[in-house]
């Protein structure tokens, strides 16, 4: 369209002064030339070259668009922290508040399902179910802010994403898969719907410990790759299936980033050329595309690390403190004291707030656990090889013709044994900051307060191997060792206790689980092979506070 044509139509229709019409026309022409098109590359030809062409933003005349020019080589890519500025065809640093992976893309913001992802649901059984297929219309993967959550029903739901790679690359993602009643597979097809060859352990995802994230990585070929994350539930009675969680999808192999991604809320990138965004420190927050974090007014507000907003500090409650037994002193005394959960976010000096209870009286320490002795000191030490003790008496040599029954036996819980660890995991985050999952309480160990009712309270025991008695004979089904424990579950709401094991750090599986309140009872698991094993107790409550008491009693032999 020429300037004279615009002037003629403008003056003919609106009878405006010529000078105004000319200004109006020049602005329109400038708009067409600067913002009504974008650049793309053509497909690479057999010589490995391509052209940069201008594409109109909307259908219409192509007159006035820049002429095609020769593009960069097909093997060209930008470094992390850069994007390809198409006007100059040069790699340019990302601005502060944004980031780029160079030859990769990452999805870590799940407030909504990102563009390009789709969720497709079908019924698991293709048999004559009448209208059953329509019941899957609402089944989907659901965005939960920092992760995606799968369906919990019997529908088969696929999360699908297609990506075209200019060179061989990979895809990796973090996931939680705690429930074997839900099938979870990840597979890849090309643009001809041909499935990529994958071993079973690459296609079928392994179960994870409750509350823990695992990372899965698969190599991708150049060309089109269609990625599928597929789940399907098998409902048993009224039992609720725990969903699969997915986050941090990272794909490598794209030729270049055409733009930089803004930092998601709760993160920032301070300097230009960033390849990632950093979480905001505790008690600060940020919005979308931030280059810095804004402090909270910590008098009345707080924010965990990586927060998009500040939250009001609540009045302190009984969930904000926990009790500990002090280590035995030189006089063999201990006492119960109370400490605030760190970092303390609650307010004490407000109406209705709880205060720390006073410390208890100093009491005699419990005896050492069997197999240990204190020799009139404050510390329990293991008995020398070939000797034994009930924890009260001094270590004695075994009678002739006998040998010690080697193992751990925990009856007293004044301090956590060195072979045990405790932690607290939250579904949305890696763990509950600053909190122990379990607390020692004299003659038992019990679940702690946690940060919320949906936290997993974890107790882990590592056994490096077993030493069966010399009298034991080999053969199939030989008992190399056993673990026995007594427990009680006192729940005012829904709760569940999982007992899991991980042999030689290969995979974690649930050995047994219990739901709801349980009277004091014992459980024994037999080890039929000699291996390094980690035992884990994971307790989760919902809706309201509840408690569980757990007391491992004996591991033989060990």
- pLDDT 10s digits, 449-498: 776 667 788 898 988 877 665 555 555 557 788 889 999 998 877 888 98
Query: Given 93, 113, 133, which residue is the final one in a domain?
Result: 93
Query: pLDDT value at position 84?
Result: 84
Whether residues 539 and 460 share a domain: the answer is: yes
Instruction: Single out the residue of 249, 228, 254, 232 nearest to residue 241, CA to CA.
Output: 232
Q: Which two tokens stand for residue 181?
A: 């009643």
Q: Domain containing 511 — which CATH number?
A: 2.60.120
In this structure, the answer to whether residues 110 and 249 fall within a common structural domain is yes
Residues 232 and 118 in one domain: yes
pLDDT digits (tens, 9 = 90+) for 271-295: 999 988 999 999 999 999 999 999 9
pLDDT at 25: 33
Question: Range of 506's domain?
Answer: 415-545
pTM recorded for the entire structure = 0.64
**Range from 29-43, 295-309, 426-440, 501-515 that averages highest in pLDDT:** 295-309
Burial 31-55 (b: 16+ CB within 10 A, else e): ebeeebbebebeeeeeeeebebbbe
170 and 242 inside one domain: yes
Residue 362 lies in a domain: no
> What does the pLDDT average to over 1-22?
33
Answer yes or no: is 64 within a domain: yes
Which of the residue ranges 17-31, 150-164, 377-391, 398-412 would you say has the lowest mean pLDDT?
17-31
Q: Which helix (H) or strand (E) holds 485?
A: strand 481-490
Are 245 and 114 found together in one domain? yes
Same domain, 219 and 168: yes
Q: 232, 254, 276: which is the final residue of a domain?
A: 254
Contacts of 78 (CB under 8 A, 6+ apart): 84, 91, 100, 102, 103, 256, 257
Domain count, the chain: 3
Smallest CA-to-CA distance from 139 within 129, 131, 149 is with: 149
Map residue 23 onto helix, strand or coil: helix
Residue identified by tokens 């009878």 is 15
Percent helix, strand and coil across the chain, each to the nearest 5: 10, 40, 55
Q: What is the mean pLDDT of residues 309-337?
A: 86
Same domain, 66 and 195: no
| 9 belongs to a structural domain | no
Q: Is 429 part of any domain?
A: yes
- Please check whether residues 228 and 89 belong to one and the same domain: no
Question: Does 300 fall in a domain?
Answer: no
- On the question of pLDDT at 413 being above 90, the answer is no
**Which pLDDT tens digit goes with each residue over 510-557?**
888 898 888 999 999 988 878 888 898 988 876 333 344 444 443 333
**Are 119 and 78 in a shared domain?**
no
Q: Which long-range contacts (CB under 8 A, 24 or more apart) does 81-85 make?
A: 81/272, 81/273, 81/274, 81/275, 82/257, 82/273, 83/256, 83/257, 83/258, 83/259, 83/260, 84/256, 84/257, 84/258
Domain boundary among 210, 227, 254: 254
- Over residues 13-37, the pLDDT tens digits come to 333 333 333 333 333 444 444 567 7
pLDDT digits (tens, 9 = 90+) for 87-128: 888 888 999 999 998 888 888 888 889 888 998 887 655 444
83 and 192 belong to one structural domain: no
Domain-located, residue 112: yes
CB 220 within 8 A of CB 212: no
Q: Which pLDDT band, with edges at 50, 70 and 90, does 164 fall under?
A: confident
What's the rounded Cα separation, in Å, for the pair 499 and 509? 9
In a domain, 453, yes or no: yes
- Specify whether 421 is located in the same domain as 464: yes
Whether residues 209 and 70 share a domain: the answer is no
- Classify residue 366: in a domain, yes or no: no
Q: Find out whether 208 and 538 touch, Cβ atoms under 8 Å.
A: no
Domain holding 122: CATH number?
2.60.120.200
The pLDDT score that the predictor gives to residue 277 is 93
Q: What is the mean pLDDT of residues 245-268?
A: 87
């Amino acid at each position: 369209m020429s300037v004279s044509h615009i002037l003629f139509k403008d003056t003919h229709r609106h009878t405006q002064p010529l000078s105004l019409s000319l200004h109006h026309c020049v602005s329109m022409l400038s708009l067409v030339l600067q913002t009504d098109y974008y650049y793309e590359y053509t497909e690479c030809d057999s010589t490995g070259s391509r052209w940069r062409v201008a594409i109109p933003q909307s259908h219409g005349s192509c007159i006035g668009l820049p002429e095609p020019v020769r593009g960069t080589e097909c093997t060209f890519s930008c470094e992390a922290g850069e994007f390809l500025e198409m006007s100059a065809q040069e790699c340019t640093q990302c601005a502060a508040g944004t980031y780029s992976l160079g030859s990769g893309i990452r999805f870590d913001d799940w407030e909504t399902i990102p563009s390009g992802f789709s969720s497709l649901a079908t019924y698991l059984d293709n048999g004559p179910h009448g209208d059953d297929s329509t019941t899957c219309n609402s089944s989907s993967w659901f965005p939960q802010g920092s992760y995606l959550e799968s369906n919990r029903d019997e529908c088969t739901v696929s999360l699908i994403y297609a990506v075209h790679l200019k060179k061989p690359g990979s895809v990796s993602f973090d996931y939680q898969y705690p429930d074997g009643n839900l099938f979870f597979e990840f597979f890849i097809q090309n643009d001809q719907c041909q499935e990529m060859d994958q071993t079973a352990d690459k296609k079928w995802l392994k179960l994870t410990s409750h509350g823990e994230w695992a990372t899965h990585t698969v190599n991708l070929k150049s060309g089109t790759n269609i990625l599928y994350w597929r789940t399907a539930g098998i409902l048993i009675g009224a039992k609720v299936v725990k969903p699969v969680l997915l986050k941090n999808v990272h794909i490598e192999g794209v030729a270049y980033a055409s733009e930089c991604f803004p930092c998601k809320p709760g993160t920032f990138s301070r300097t230009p050329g960033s390849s990632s965004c950093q979480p905001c420190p505790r008690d600060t927050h940020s919005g979308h595309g931030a280059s810095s974090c804004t402090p909270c007014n910590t008098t009345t507000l707080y924010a965990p690390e990586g927060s998009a907003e500040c939250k009001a500090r609540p009045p302190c409650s009984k969930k904000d403190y926990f009790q500990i037994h002090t280590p035995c002193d030189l006089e063999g005394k201990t006492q119960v004291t109370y400490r605030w959960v760190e970092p303390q976010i609650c307010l004490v000096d407000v109406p209705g707030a709880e205060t720390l209870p006073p410390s208890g009286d100093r009491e005699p320490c419990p005896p050492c656990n069997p197999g240990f002795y204190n020799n009139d000191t404050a510390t329990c030490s293991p008995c020398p090889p070939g000797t034994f003790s009930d924890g009260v008496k001094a270590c004695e040599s075994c009678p002739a013709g006998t040998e010690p029954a080697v193992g751990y036996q925990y009856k007293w819980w004044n301090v956590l044994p060195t072979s045990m660890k405790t932690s607290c995991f939250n579904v949305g985050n890696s763990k509950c900051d600053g909190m122990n999952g379990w607390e020692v309480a004299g003659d038992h160990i019990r679940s702690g307060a946690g940060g919320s009712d949906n936290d997993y309270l974890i107790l882990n025991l590592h056994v490096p191997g077993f030493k069966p008695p010399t009298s034991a004979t080999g053969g199939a089904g030989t008992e190399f060792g056993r673990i026995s424990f007594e427990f009680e579950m006192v729940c005012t709401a829904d709760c569940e206790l999982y007992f899991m094991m991980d042999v030689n750090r290969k995979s974690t599986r649930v050995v047994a689980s219990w739901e709801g309140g349980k009277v004091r009872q014992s459980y024994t698991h037999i080890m039929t092979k000699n291996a390094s094993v980690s035992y884990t107790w994971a307790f989760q409550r919902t809706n309201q506070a509840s408690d569980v008491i757990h007391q491992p009693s004996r591991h033989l032999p060990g």
